[in-house]
Amino acid sequence: MYDPKSLKAEEFINHEEILETLAYADANKDNIELIDSIIKKAEERKGLSHREASVLLACTDEEKNNEIYALAEQIKKDFYGNRIVMFAPLYLSNYCVNGCVYCPYHMKNKHIARKKLTQEEVRNEVIALQDMGHKRLAIESGEDPVNNPIEYILECINTIYSVKHKNGAIRRVNVNIAATTVENYRKLKDAGIGTYILFQETYHKESYLQLHPTGPKHDYAYHTEAMDRAMEGGIDDVGLGVLFGLEKYRYEFAGLLMHAEHLEAVHGVGPHTISVPRIRPADDIDPEDFTDAIDDDIFAKLVACIRIAVPYTGMIVSTRESQKTRERVLHLGISQISGGSKTSVGGYYEPEPEEENSAQFDVEDNRTLDQVVNWLMTMGYIPSFCTACYREGRTGDRFMSLCKSGQIQNCCLPNALMTLQEYLEDYASPETKKIGEALIAKEVENIPKEKVKAIVKDYLLNINEGKRDFRF
């Protein structure tokens, strides 16, 4: 029985409910009257149910699809303005005891180089990341209770926050590690993490069991219920995602939204972020083996429909995607992107020799952070290195209520401009700096409240003089 309030995976992600949702969406994909009413509801910016959003995703009418894209773009503008938050992944260890068939870190892969960073190496990676200009990281690690126990992860987090190199600082560490216990989530919370991210990979239980044939991750319920344990452990902000290409995308879309509805129903706060990774080539992995891979048009439609369905949830796209694809989806709903990423263990400090590949996937967008920042600004976006909410204790339902009332907007633009100014002063190339300063001079005038505008102008002068870390 489908029950969004249940704590049992198979009840809040209910297979029959998804099948009925897909049948309902198929039956109504040309029902213009219904589609109009769903779009009208979405215009209220309060989100949509998985059933309603699934109808929009299935819709094939060109005119209605254009309305869906236009609405996604408008919602993106209303909630996130032209700001894009920047982050980088940091791979700690690729030792893993699981057998995920789509990931080169799976246990049986004997030809990938296995690496685990020492604390000295973590420090080197963090310095390299700080020297690029990053302030926000997502740490990644395989699941291995012997090589990467929770104590190792906690030690790494501690090391990351402790590195102060020149004007650099990592101000927010998000964590992407395997499903774990309430007790371990509590430890992560105490270590000061930002978002806990765990991709479901697929919501389709039968496929899930086949794709995860061995290891602790084989346990579908334990994996699917992880976010409830994380929240029970005190983590306010959780990030969802599926790996598109493993199963039928419409099934995953409905499952993803049901998961969001479940978190809202049980914990009173939906996911902080949703990531939309697609399967990529990697050592031992050929995307051609996965017949449910989605093309760029479907990818864009998914981003637009997620944006409309959960307006308050940030959306992340990584360097798995090309510059062209990232450009296409930025205005449809993406609010966070990575830049200058390395997906190998230890890849920032020292590039890996080719025969020693430890990467989780091939990066499609290989540009440096400076190039990505420059590109964003040339398109009129404001790259933001802001981490203020988490540091001001604006997390979980507190964050969501500020989001829903629109008050968060009073913080985001000033913080984006000030953190961009820091970046320009400390790390940007001369050309990027020139573009950025012109952008900041223009955007500062768009701060609606005169008092805030005056404070920001004063802080910007302070940043020019070498002071750092101003925030609202």
Footprint on this chain of ligand SF4 (rule: CB under 6 A): 85, 96, 98, 100, 103, 105-106, 142-143, 178, 217, 384, 386-389, 408, 411-412, 415
Instruction: Please report where in the chains the tokens 């000030």 appear, as a residue.
Output: 418
Contact indicator for 112, 58 with CB cutoff of 8 Å:
no
List beta partners, residue 382.
Answer: 83
Contact indicator for 379, 144 with CB cutoff of 8 Å:
no
Q: Which is nearer to ligand SF4, 104 or 255 (CB)?
A: 104
Q: Which is nearer to ligand SF4, 4 or 346 (CB)?
A: 346
Dihedral sign for Cα 142, 384, 78, 389, please.
positive
Smallest gap from Cβ 140 to ligand SF4, in A, equals: 8
Q: Which is nearer to ligand SF4, 18 or 279 (CB)?
A: 279
Task: Transcribe 80-101 into DSSP letters.
Answer: HTTEEEEEEEEEEE-------T
Q: Which is nearer to ligand SF4, 107 or 265 (CB)?
A: 107
Element (H, E) at 413: helix 409-426
Smallest gap from Cβ 371 to ligand SF4, in A, equals: 22
With vertex at residue 84, the alpha carbon angle to CA 294 and CA 371, rounded to the nearest 5 degrees, is 85
Cα(138)–Cα(39) distance, rounded to whole angstroms?
34
Smallest gap from Cβ 372 to ligand SF4, in A, equals: 17
Q: Which is nearer to ligand SF4, 100 or 128 (CB)?
A: 100
Cα(183)–Cα(304) distance, rounded to whole angstroms?
37
Single-letter amino acid, residue 142:
G
Contact indicator for 237, 278 with CB cutoff of 8 Å:
no
Helix (H, G, I), strand (E, B) or coil at 396: helix
Q: Which is nearer to ligand SF4, 178 or 316 (CB)?
A: 178
Contact indicator for 156, 119 with CB cutoff of 8 Å:
yes
- Between the alpha carbon of residue 291 and those of residues 243, 246, 276, the distances in Å are 13, 8, 18
Q: Length of the chain in residues, anyone?
A: 472
Contact indicator for 22, 5 with CB cutoff of 8 Å:
no
With vertex at residue 179, the alpha carbon angle to CA 204 and CA 138, rounded to the nearest 5 degrees, is 105
Smallest gap from Cβ 358 to ligand SF4, in A, equals: 11
Q: Which is nearer to ligand SF4, 54 or 387 (CB)?
A: 387
Smallest gap from Cβ 117 to ligand SF4, in A, equals: 15
Which residue, among 444, 432, 301, 303, has the nearest Cα to 372 in the 3D structure?
432
Smallest gap from Cβ 220 to ligand SF4, in A, equals: 14
Smallest gap from Cβ 217 to ligand SF4, in A, equals: 5
Q: Which is nearer to ligand SF4, 80 or 185 (CB)?
A: 80
Smallest gap from Cβ 201 to ligand SF4, in A, equals: 7
Q: Which is nearer to ligand SF4, 4 or 81 (CB)?
A: 81
Smallest gap from Cβ 7 to ligand SF4, in A, equals: 23
Smallest gap from Cβ 282 to ligand SF4, in A, equals: 10
Instruction: Please report where in the chains the tokens 């920001």 appear, as a residue.
Output: 456
Instruction: Please report where in the chains the tokens 């017949």 appear, as a residue.
Output: 291
Q: Which is nearer to ligand SF4, 26 or 206 (CB)?
A: 206
Cα(250)–Cα(239) distance, rounded to whole angstroms?
20
Q: Which is nearer to ligand SF4, 241 or 340 (CB)?
A: 241
**Distance separating the N- and C-terminal Cα atoms of the chain:** 45
Smallest gap from Cβ 92 to ligand SF4, in A, equals: 11
Cα(452)–Cα(445) distance, rounded to whole angstroms?
11
